[in-house]
Amino acid sequence: MKLVQQQILRDLQSQNGEQMLKHYTQIYFYYYKKLIILQNNNFECKVISLQRWIDYKLIAKLGYGTSSEVIKAQSIASNEIVAIKCMKKVFQTIDEVNEFREIPILRKLQNHDHIINLFEVLFDENTWRFSLVFELMEQNLYELIKDRQILLEQDKIKSYMYQLLKAIDFIHKNNLFHRCIVPENILLQGDHLKLAGMGSCKSIYFQHPQTDYIDARWYRAPEVLLTDGYYDRKMDIWGAGCVLFEITALYPLFPGNNEFDQINKIHNILGTPNPKVLDRFRKHASHMEINFPPKVGTGFENLIPYAPKDLVDLIKQMLIYDPEERIDATQALRHPYFKELRDQEQYKLLGTSLQSIKLQEKLDEEEQKNCRTLPKQILFKKPNQILQNSIKNKKQQLQDTVKLPPLTKQQAYGPIYFQNKETKKQSAQHEYILQGKKANLGNLKKNIRQK
């Protein structure tokens, strides 16, 4: 490992350091307050500068999960309030560090309006523990609705879901899928939404079967529950559909106590799917017997009778049992439910274009004003007349700047006698130059022979 590190450091110091890094497989190591991250799973190589724990003042604990806890802290250097996600796992080997893929994923997804920003990485080289420093948001979606007695405004529901689908669409277009779309991972700062929890992301090119265990059971898609890890990015759409129902109704749609109860709750509302869908799931389901009696679901429309029809239709398309028939994030963003928000975005773009047009018109007006100060005889001349006058003026300028001395009568018309051929040739050339004619070799020879 030390030899590999030495070679990497030599490449880092070379002129094409970043290009050289791409030849390595996935490696993490700590060197002079820099975390060297090299990977081969379609993620760019990065060198991330690190901070120490002493650079932050801890304020309070915000929450905890199975693999981490979140602490509110303040940067001593900038006084900025941040959220530090402290990983509970202690890495024993470099292979275990390689499995920690959240950092390169966060770097890959940075600079998006609806993805949480990663500021710094804290690393304890003695204990081999990572902590991630994020921007601090006010609350998550679960905290917003958990004690709420009054329904959310429809405009807010629409805005939150539009922003969430934009984040999911961006993740999918980067060949990843989130795998844990739950209210706790959806953060809010005022009405601005950002998606967090990128540690569960996976590449769409990862071979099946995937890891079948996802933290939040209530938001798991049928293909996750019924197969041995044969699912894809459409599971994110199912989770988002469950979230959309929950922020509309203020309670979860499928609160199962275990996996079997979860499936039963889905069937109670949506009904059992087409037998062909179950047959497809059965091929990849060794952990359970897929043999459900046909059932007609009650539907969820009667659970939210106050919801707009477009919203209900969007939930239906996001919660289609068969993942192949379920809409994707791009299609969901084009749903009629979001027409008003799409129009507003178009108006903003149009407003920017109109500003550019107005600026151009203003420049044109200033140019016309400058033209009005020119003499009238120039303004009202025809273009071809102006061009002819310009050519004429240029010729006159050329004649004025290059004036030849006047020829004497003898030089212009009188005979010239030569003593020898060389003198005769030079005189002929001199005569052509004085007369301003184009002297080419053929004409010179012809003139000499005649004389």
Binding residues for ATP: 85
Which residues make up each annotated binding site? 85
Contact criterion met (CB below 8 Å) for 88 and 125? no
3-state secondary structure the chain: CHHHHHHHHHHHHCCCHHHHHCCCCCEEEEECCEEEEECCCCCCCEEEEEECHHHEEEEEEEEECCCEEEEEEEECCCCCEEEEEEECCCCCCHHHHHCCCHHHHHHHCCCCCCECCEEEEEEECCCCEEEEEEECCCEEHHHHHCCCCCCCCHHHHHHHHHHHHHHHHHHHHCCEECCCCCHHHEEEECCEEEECCHHHCEECCCCCCCCCCCCCHHHCCHHHHHCCCCCCCHHHHHHHHHHHHHHHHCCCCCCCCCHHHHHHHHHHHHCCCCHHHHHHHHCCCCCCCCCCCCCCCCCCHHHCCCCCHHHHHHHHHHCCCCCCCCCCHHHHHCCHHHHHHHHHHHHHHHHHHHHHHHHHHHHHHHHHHHHHCCCHHHHCCCHHHHHHHHHHHHHHHHHHHCCCCCCCHHHHHCCCCCCCHHHHHHHHHHHHHHCCCCCCHHHHHHHHHHC
Q: Which residue matches tokens 């079967």?
A: 209
Structure tokens that stand for 155 in this block: 């405009």
Angle (deg, nearest 10), helices 154-173 and 339-372: 80
